[in-house]
Amino acid sequence: MPFHPLPTKGIPGNLLEDGLPGEPIHLHISAVGPGQRSHPPHQHGGWEAFYLFEGEGTLEIEDERLVIRAGESIVFDPRRMHGLVNTGNSEMRYMVILTKE
């Protein structure tokens, strides 16, 4: 099947196969400075994963705190209130992978 470009944050060459029902798996790359977060804690359906390319962050899931570092990933249930904050001393670059409900 042919593919078409899908504009995606942080990924200039993202392609999506024609004929798929929407975007069944969403991914993007974010960069966040030390002490910052890309958005406030939130929740949503589907499944979510983070993969850190650079830096260190803390994934906050309700009352839990999990440190993740460059080269590590985490998969979790985003129906729980969650957020990711850069707790390192340098920029944190990471990929977000989301599935639809």
Query: Under a CB-based contact definition with an 8 Å cutoff, are residues 74 and 95 in contact?
Result: no
Written out in words, the top-level CATH class of the domain with range 22-99 is mainly beta
Q: Which residue has the higher pLDDT, 54 or 23?
A: 54
DSSP assigned state of 63: T
- Over residues 29-69, the pLDDT tens digits come to 999 999 999 889 999 999 999 999 999 999 999 999 999 99
Domain ranges of the chain: 22-99
pTM score: 0.91
Residue listed under structure tokens 């803390």: 58
| Nearest 10 degrees: Cα torsion 26, 42, 87, 33 | 60
pLDDT 10s digits, 62-89: 999 999 999 999 999 999 999 999 999 9
**Would you state the pLDDT for residue 21?**
86
